[in-house]
Amino acid sequence: MPAPITPSAHLADVRYEIRGALTRRARELEAAGRDIVKLNIGNPARYGFATPAHLREAVAARLADSEGYGHEQGLDAAREAVVAQQRARGAQGVSVERVFIGNGVSELIDLSLRALLQPGDEVLLPSPDYPLWSAATLLNGGRPRYYRCLAQNAHLPDPDEVEALVTSRTRALVLINPNNPTGAVYPRPLLERLVAIAARHGLLLLTDEIYDEILYDGAPFQPLADVAGAQPCLSFGGLSKVHRACGYRVGWLSLSGDPARTAAYRDALQLLAALRLCANVTAQWAVEPALAGRATIGALTAPGGRLHAARQAVLDGVRASRYLDLVAPAGALYAFPQVRADALPQFDDDAFALRLLEEEAVLVVPGSSFNVPQSRHFRLTLLPPPAQLADVFVRIERVLGRMALE
Ligand code: PLP
């Protein structure tokens, strides 16, 4: 037999379980006629959250202007809107030359690490993380070094632990704020300590702020660029979550801080952006109207709003549970409950998620998928209607009850 085609060894440790084996099993069950409650992906459109009409209209109106390639860094109007947003947030040194529009934040995460890393360079990542950050680090020859964001510390990092991980190979410190999967929103004094660590060790700061305006109960989001000042900082944002347009595939990054320190790095970003020609032009027309005023998502996260009610349904479900604990999410679109060791000492998150799918037709993501060893957590999205989430917790409790009896 001719030799099989084998994949690159670079992929050996690369995982993305949010769309992994469990999702494939859910699709099989659906094909066999089962109705699966899919809580694995933060896809607002799936749960009836429409992209605001003024964004859709802006894109439709500019279709005829979208037929050619655009600038590799993005449309001027889109980049100017990002500059205005970042300056209003206190970012220093931001200009249209230092803003890049990409096909989603996903593409820009990869691009920013590809432009930075040499083989063996280390990147400080949160554990749990949004697993693309680990994957992109590995695919670009880097080594993830994880700082823990434990439930007993409200899922906030411990700056001393972060600093203890720094070696001569460390190049970058990544933050996800508001956090996916935990919903933690980082307070300013914590950000100040993390910026000081980056400054002491010459690290590039990268902050994934894609959930920046999805906040509950008045949680105060602090843009890192404001705290970072002259320290080089990449801030990521996009249309997918706050503006409920994940299918548009539009994200941005802005480079703030002292331009002299990042001139060569900026040029590398531009080269990589040019290699892929440009981001989808059509959808970029939505960026300016999206950033022109306050995001409309505030009405959904405020009391009386659908996301606020969904989060409350999850908090109620956890409170009524004999097995679960939860640090209430302060932002983003997820809850990250934990199965208590005193209630269920033997617990395997992968086995639990599989049973929940097979026995109760609910798809969640096991905590270990977010680069946490031996996790007792699982993640679910807050996007379904509150009544459906309440029912999901009844199903979760049934599975945990059965596991407790075995
Ligand atoms: N960063 C975080 C923290 C996310 O949760 C996601 C998507 O879920 C992304 C980035 C990717 O977003 P995009 O749709 O802009 O590629």
Of the residues 257, 292, 327, which one is the last residue of a structural domain? Answer: 292
List the CATH number of the domain containing 177.
3.40.640.10
* 89 and 228, same domain (yes or no): yes
Of the residues 292, 313, 342, which one is the last residue of a structural domain? Answer: 292
Question: What is the extent of the structural domain holding 152?
Answer: 66-292
* 72 and 218, same domain (yes or no): yes
* 78 and 34, same domain (yes or no): no
pLDDT at residue number 343:
95
The pLDDT tens digits of the residues spanning 272-317 come to 999 999 999 999 999 999 999 777 899 999 999 999 999 999 999 9
- By C-alpha distance, which of 204, 269, 192, 263 is closest to 233? 204
Residue 317 lies in a domain: yes
* 345 and 368, same domain (yes or no): yes
Residue 58 lies in a domain: no
208 lines ligand 1 (CB under 6 A): yes
Q: Give the C-alpha distances (Å, rounded to integers) separating 98 from 56, 117, 172, 254, 400.
A: 27, 19, 18, 6, 50
pLDDT at residue number 150:
97
383 lines ligand 1 (CB under 6 A): no
* 146 and 278, same domain (yes or no): yes
Q: How far apart are CA 52 and CA 286, in angstroms?
A: 10
* 72 and 189, same domain (yes or no): yes
209 lines ligand 1 (CB under 6 A): no
Total domains, the chain: 2
* 218 and 343, same domain (yes or no): no
List the CATH number of the domain containing 16.
3.90.1150.10
Residue 21 lies in a domain: yes
pLDDT at residue number 294:
75
Closest ligand 1 atom to Cα of 103: 16
Residue 61 lies in a domain: no
- By C-alpha distance, which of 300, 296, 328, 290 is closest to 312? 328
Encode the chain (406 residues) as per-residue pLDDT tens digits.
899 999 998 888 888 888 889 999 999 999 999 999 999 988 998 898 999 999 999 999 999 999 999 999 999 999 999 999 999 999 999 999 999 999 999 999 999 999 999 999 999 999 999 999 999 999 999 999 999 999 999 999 999 999 999 999 999 999 999 999 999 999 999 999 999 999 999 999 999 999 999 999 988 999 999 999 999 999 999 999 999 999 999 999 999 999 999 999 999 999 999 999 999 999 999 999 999 977 789 999 999 999 999 999 999 999 999 999 999 999 999 999 999 999 999 999 999 999 999 999 999 999 999 999 889 999 999 999 999 999 999 999 999 999 999 8
Q: How far apart are CA 188 and CA 224, in angstroms?
A: 9
The pLDDT tens digits of the residues spanning 184-216 come to 999 999 999 999 999 999 999 999 999 999 999
The angle formed by the CA atoms of residues 73, 252 and 120, to the nearest 5 degrees, is 90
Q: What's the full length of the chain, in residues?
A: 406
- By C-alpha distance, which of 348, 357, 350 is closest to 27? 357
Distance 206 CA to ligand 1 centre (A): 14
Residue 102 lies in a domain: yes
- By C-alpha distance, which of 142, 96, 150 is closest to 116? 142
pLDDT at residue number 374:
86
Which residue's C-alpha comes closest to atom 5 of ligand 1?
Answer: 180
Residue 55 lies in a domain: no
Hey, which of 17, 112, 207, 241 would you mutate to test ligand 1's pocket, going by the most ligand atoms within 8 Å of its Cβ? 241
- Exposed, middle or buried by CB within 10 Å (0-12, 13-18, 19+), for 60? exposed
Hey, which of 130, 174, 248, 252 would you mutate to test ligand 1's pocket, going by the most ligand atoms within 8 Å of its Cβ? 130
CA 397 to chain centre: 28
Which three-class secondary structure string do you get for the chain? Answer: CCCCCCCCHHHCCCCCHHHCHHHHHHHHHHHCCCCCEECCCCCHHHHCCCCCHHHHHHHHHCHHHCCCCCCCCCCHHHHHHHHHHHHHCCCCCCCHHHEEEECHHHHHHHHHHHCCCCCCCEEEEEECCCCHHHHHHHHCCCEEEEEECCHHHCCCCCHHHHHHCCCCCEEEEEEECCCCCCCCCCCHHHHHHHHHHHHHHCCEEEEECCCCCCECCCCCCCCHHHHHCCCCEEEEEECCCCCCCHHHCCEEEEEECCHHHHHHHHHHHHHHHHHCCCCCHHHHCCHHHHHHCCCCCHHHHCCCCHHHHHHHHHHHHHHCCCCEECCCCCECCEECCEECCCCCCCCCHHHHHHHHHHHHCEECEEHHHHCCCCCCEEEEECCCCHHHHHHHHHHHHHHHHHHHHC
Q: How far apart are CA 209 and CA 180, in angstroms?
A: 10
Closest ligand 1 atom to Cα of 130: 3
* 30 and 155, same domain (yes or no): no
* 135 and 184, same domain (yes or no): yes
Q: How far apart are CA 128 and CA 361, in angstroms?
A: 25
Write down the ipTM of this complex. Answer: 0.99
Of the residues 264, 292, 320, which one is the last residue of a structural domain? Answer: 292
Residue 82 lies in a domain: yes
Residue 145 lies in a domain: yes
